[in-house]
Amino acid sequence: MLRKLAIAFGVLVLVAGAGIVLLYRDVTTLSHQAVSADVELVQAGGINGNVAVLRTDDGAVVVDTMTLRAQGARLRELAEKLGGGPVQLVLNTHYHADHSHGNPGFPVGTRIVATKRTREYMLGVDGAYWRGEGVWSVLGSDVTGTLPNDLVEGEEVREIPVGGKTIRVLHPGRGHTGGDLVVLFVEDRVLHMGDLLVVGTYPSIDLEAGGSVAAWIATLDRVLALDFDRVIPGHGPVTDRAGALRFQAFLREVWELARQAAAEGLSLERTQEVARRSLTADAGFVPLGLPPIFVLDRDFVVRRAWEEATGAVRVSPDPAG
Ligand SMILES: [Zn+2]
């Protein structure tokens, strides 16, 4: 009996081990596709944010670094192949783990651009990771060395020349968080919007870090005023101006519903019932997440909008000012 149990346990350990290996392989295997002559979209499985690699005469420019240090390291290798040489510049669209925790896969001293507010969120709400505290101490001290070190402030529009290309970056306003950066590859007319845009799925709204459904709508107007053809969203397939407008229409619909619910004093449950009957702009959206840890779906977005509209969650102050 004991022997059988021992064998069963051994099999279980093997299966679990194989599962972890497969999962690790899945998230560290990178695929890529051309978006323009010199811009590649790089993706991995799961909830990893979309990465852009720009090829220049001097080497690669990388937007976002996915979730794991190991992914960052693989991303760096791939970027050097796709981007014409060593990585010259990394940008973080915002502080969330699935867009920035791969930074330590790049050498300490790499130029890393983000908004000042993003760096504050990294050292604030995500401080344990970036200071290498607690469980993160296994990563070693150089995590701190790959925090953003070139910061965009307020309404500054930064033009960064690299190897014959122009990278234009700006913070168009609050939305997904209070510190999102959009990155325009000027000559290629490709825009990376980070999580200010997700395609075919539901957005996260980080009210606790400056996010706002209400502000997001006007923020998208400022993004749409830029000169571009193709858009890389934070999650989902490459789209265009029309794709960004569809997403904006969904936010508008949700915010209008939440605003009315707040004016009429509707409970969250009642608001979600109304949403189930009346929202149409999210036709075809599928939930995104890591159940049971978190799921981004229609109920989630409606809850966040209701919390903002009713004041049930105090939205953090406007980071711009
Ligand atoms: Zn995000």
Encode pLDDT of 64-121 as tens digits.
Answer: 999 999 999 999 999 999 999 999 999 999 999 999 999 999 999 999 999 999 999 9
Q: Using CA atoms, how far apart are residues 67 and 126, in angstroms rounded to an integer?
A: 13
Ligand 1 centroid–CA 48 distance in Å is 10
**Residue 160 and residue 122 in contact, taking contact as beta carbons nearer than 8 Å:** no
Q: Which of 278, 277, 221 is closest to 245 using CA atoms? A: 221
Query: What is the distance in angstroms between the CA of the first residue and the CA of the last residue of the chain?
Result: 69
For 141, residues 6+ apart whose C-beta sits below 8 A from its C-beta are: 132
Note the pLDDT of residue 320.
42
User: 22-40, pLDDT tens digit by residue?
Assistant: 456 556 699 999 999 999 9
Ligand 1 centroid–CA 7 distance in Å is 44
Q: Which of 46, 44, 64 is closest to 54 using CA atoms? A: 64
The half-sphere exposure of 308 on its side-chain side, counting CA atoms within 13 A, is 28
Ligand 1 centroid–CA 95 distance in Å is 7
Ligand 1 centroid–CA 157 distance in Å is 22
Strands 239-240 and 182-185: unpaired
Ligand 1 centroid–CA 9 distance in Å is 39
Note the pLDDT of residue 314.
78
Ligand 1 centroid–CA 14 distance in Å is 34
Helices 241-264 + 213-224 axis angle, to 10: 160
Note the pLDDT of residue 84.
96
**Rounded (to 5) percent helix, strand, coil in the chain:** 45, 20, 35
Ligand 1 centroid–CA 94 distance in Å is 7
Q: Using CA atoms, how far apart are residues 52 and 32, in angstroms rounded to an integer?
A: 9
Pick the range with the lowest mean pLDDT from 4-18, 45-59, 213-227.
4-18
Ligand 1 centroid–CA 104 distance in Å is 18
Note the pLDDT of residue 14.
46
Which residues are in the CB-under-5-Å shell of ion ligand 1? 96, 195
User: 216-260, pLDDT tens digit by residue?
Assistant: 999 999 999 999 999 999 999 999 999 999 999 999 999 999 999
Ligand 1 centroid–CA 139 distance in Å is 22
In angstroms, the Cα distances linking 315 to 9, 42, 232 are 49, 33, 28
**Residue 140 and residue 132 in contact, taking contact as beta carbons nearer than 8 Å:** yes
